[in-house]
Amino acid sequence: MKFGMKFTDNHTVKILVVDDDPLVLEALGLLVESFGYQCFTAANGLEAIEKLKEDAIDIVVTDVVMPEMGGLQLLAYIKENYPNTDVIVATGYTEKAGYAEVIRSGAIDFIKKPFERDELEAKLNRAERERSMIRKLEKLSLCDSLTGLYNRRSFDIKLAEEVQRAHRQDFQVYLALIDVDNFKGYNDTYGHPAGDRVLSAVGMILNDCTRHNVDFTFRYGGDEFAAILTQTSEEQAVKIMERVLHSFQQAGFSGTTLSIGLVCCRRDETLTWPENAACMIDRVDKALYRAKSEGKNRVMLDVGGC
């Protein structure tokens, strides 16, 4: 890790500088690094596109007039293909592209060449502060405040992403739906704060028993939870959910257990995605119901399909 590199929310800020003048490019790269950012360079728009494919770039600072692909063409490409990457457009005093034009085209800011050090640093710092605020707001909108797990909105987004990714890359993905047995009775007996502790414990257990940076865990609603288990076999998926059952039993919440429905999710291209997703959720919900009806405290695997 480079000393002095700027981090926001544990995120390394990566900036790509694009200019066809090698002296300007070298000087600008050194200047950006002196501000504490990680800097990449490209000599034109086409080279910049290759850099964007190789790394997750946060901010692009691009010249306007360049051979092969100019800055405004590059800006349009980034807005279309990398919507989470921000662009600052730089132009010389004699060039025609003005502030209004580049902002209308999707840039977040505009800077005149030759650069003034303080102005460039201020614009980059402001851009990163705004990006950090957006990340925090997105996190708040996608997470459950009690358990810290992703919420139902996140579930809908991630299920679509992971099932379709599994279809493209030819691997299996499993969906688990988890319900706390006898939760209402536990709440009525011990009170809502005790019930909240049960829900928080389920959240921690799901995170502990699933694979970090591979699986996804959610508070689905009320006392129901969900997990998306990616790149896994049926045997592995069942074992992960059995670990969840065992860990909850060990937690010692008297009178409560977990019931879990589990299904393999496949993209059925004869259906629209909403129809496909509804079918998967219906299947896992029925598997959960069977787990409850057959005695609770168990994993029930559904091997059917949509």
**What are the structural domains of the chain?**
7-137 (3.40.50.2300), 152-302 (3.30.70.270)
- Over the stretch 141-150, which tens digit does the pLDDT of each residue have? 788 989 989 9
How many residues would you count in the chain?
Answer: 306
User: Is there a cis peptide before residue 114, judged by omega within 30 degrees of 0?
Assistant: yes
* pLDDT for position 3: 34
Structure tokens belonging to residue 268: 């059925």
Residues with catalytic annotation? 223
Confidence of residue 106 (pLDDT cuts 50, 70, 90): confident
Question: Measured on CA atoms in the order 41, 43, 44, 49, is the torsion positive or negative?
Answer: negative
Confidence of residue 186 (pLDDT cuts 50, 70, 90): very high
- Over the stretch 49-71, which tens digit does the pLDDT of each residue have? 999 988 889 999 999 889 889 89
Against a cut of 0.85, is the pTM above it? no
* pLDDT for position 96: 59
End-to-end alpha-carbon separation of the chain, Å?
48
- Over the stretch 242-282, which tens digit does the pLDDT of each residue have? 999 999 999 989 899 999 999 999 999 999 999 999 999 99
pLDDT at 14 over 50: yes
- Which residue type occupies 12? T
- What is the DSSP secondary structure assignment for residue 254, as one 8-state letter? T
* pLDDT for position 85: 92
Report CA-CA distances (Å) from 269 to 95, 168, 193, 244: 50, 12, 45, 33
* pLDDT for position 100: 74
Return the higher-pLDDT residue of 164 and 7. Answer: 164
